[in-house]
Amino acid sequence: MNHSDNLKQGEKGAWISIFAYIILAITKLTIAHTGNSAALHADGLNNSTDVIASIAVLIGLKISRKPPDEDHHYGHYRAETIASLFAAFIMMFVGIQVIIDTIQKVIAGVSVQPDLLTAWVALGAAIVMFFVYMYNVKLAKRIQSNALYAAAQDNRSDALVSMGAFIAIIGAQFGLFWLDPFAGLIVGIIICKTAWEIFKDSTHTLTDGFDEEQIKKIRESITKDPGVKEVVDVKGRIHGNLALIDITILVDPNLNVQESHDITVRIEKHLEKKYNITHAQIHIEPYY
């Protein structure tokens, strides 16, 4: 399966998230309004932003599938990373808004016992989002999509948030009214934390950041090749769901062109087999 097919598979995960979030957002906001639950209301707002974020991921994945053109020689793969960044901004905005609204309610002294129905809605939502998370995280790892992986992490956060809302609402049934707005505050913090993590990962990728541990492993594995005298440099960057690697090695200066080329081919096959890296530029220099 090529990278375009992988991205197309990723779109399925985005669509599943969108449908799940739309249904859950409408259900939560409606029940929260009638059932007087600040925690479920905050959770519903969270899902509303997730709809927008998932749509952004979907658009990013679709754009990423576009083939290279005259002014995008490496394709459009970074579109999905930009989509993740856009989603992070939306999530952060809503997270801050949820925190502000919850604090205002606490200051105003609003303490209403939520209807028990809101608890069961929260529990059901947690179960649904857990299964959506499991599907998306497996798919994201298989197709190596940063955008879908970010969406999957958001799915997991949503499942935990809904579970927290469930516990808070149950606690309110026993007179612990502060638990419901407190859960709303925690929801806001979790939204902001998730947004920050997605923002950090996206900006790291867009500024050509790369995992140093991965670089070390690649360097060590290349060094073991019998034709490589020394590994001078290994650099990497992420381009959407592709890892682009630049390598400089020293080889025996007495080798002919074909023999030197055979070394690079061997290294390329090794990188693809062990690290699933299909784009490597290998520069050869003589070893003296």
pLDDT digits (tens, 9 = 90+) for 275-288: 888 889 999 999 98
Global pTM?
Answer: 0.72
CA gap 16, 264 in Å, rounded? 42
Residue percentage of the chain with pLDDT more than 70: 96
Residue type, 264: T
Kindly report, residue by residue over 51-75, the tens digit of the pLDDT.
Answer: 887 888 788 888 888 888 888 887 8
Residue 288: closest CA among 247, 255, 260, 251: 251
* Domains, in order of start, for the chain: 3-206 (1.20.1510.10), 212-286 (3.30.70.1350)
Confidence check: pLDDT of 106 > 60? yes
| pLDDT computed for residue 163 by the predictor | 87
Strand 230-239 relative to strand 279-286, pairing:
unpaired
Residue type, 234: V
Kindly report, residue by residue over 222-257, the tens digit of the pLDDT.
Answer: 999 999 999 999 999 988 778 899 999 999 999 999
